[in-house]
Amino acid sequence: MSMDPHLLIADVAQVLLRPSGAALCVRRKPDAELAPGQLTVVGGHLQAGEPLDRAARREAQEETGVHIRADQQEFCGLVHHHTLEGRDRITAVFVAQSWTGEPYNAEPHKHEGLFWVSMEKPPRDCHPYTAAIFQMLIEGPSYRALNWPSVGGAL
């Protein structure tokens, strides 16, 4: 079976939640290639051969310095994003409500800082992809398709 090069589970998101429901976001540097100056959830690219849950925990540790055990993490769903370049990216989303360590900006060369934001009312400078992840976590379902072009006609 060959894999479609245009459809790829390529990214992970690790949402760290406070009991109040606030989620930890990073503010990307103004010169960042992706989401410049915007708030985004913690996450990144999947490495070759890396399990999804481990990749999300790795990204959380790399970006915020916290350590999340596998039993502290819950799989929440998939976001299927259609890019302007015509490639489809799928992000596996995980949530953790407990972890070891105090979050800090472990990647100051990439991020301006860490911010706790309301998932119910994300700030205006929250990246739309992050806002969609929050909406999925609050309302369901556990799968979201984003940026798909409108197609006329019945299916």
Structure confidence at residue 155 (pLDDT): 37
Global confidence as pTM: 0.86
Structure confidence at residue 57 (pLDDT): 98
Which SS3 state, helix, strand or coil, does residue 58 take?
helix
Closest CA to 146 of 134, 131, 129: 129
CATH of 7-146, one of 3.40.50.300, 3.40.50.720, 3.90.79.10, 3.40.710.10: 3.90.79.10
Structure confidence at residue 154 (pLDDT): 40
Alpha-carbon distances, residue 50 vs 9, 31, 47, 118 (angstroms): 11, 29, 5, 30
pLDDT < 70 positions in the chain: 1-9, 86, 147-155
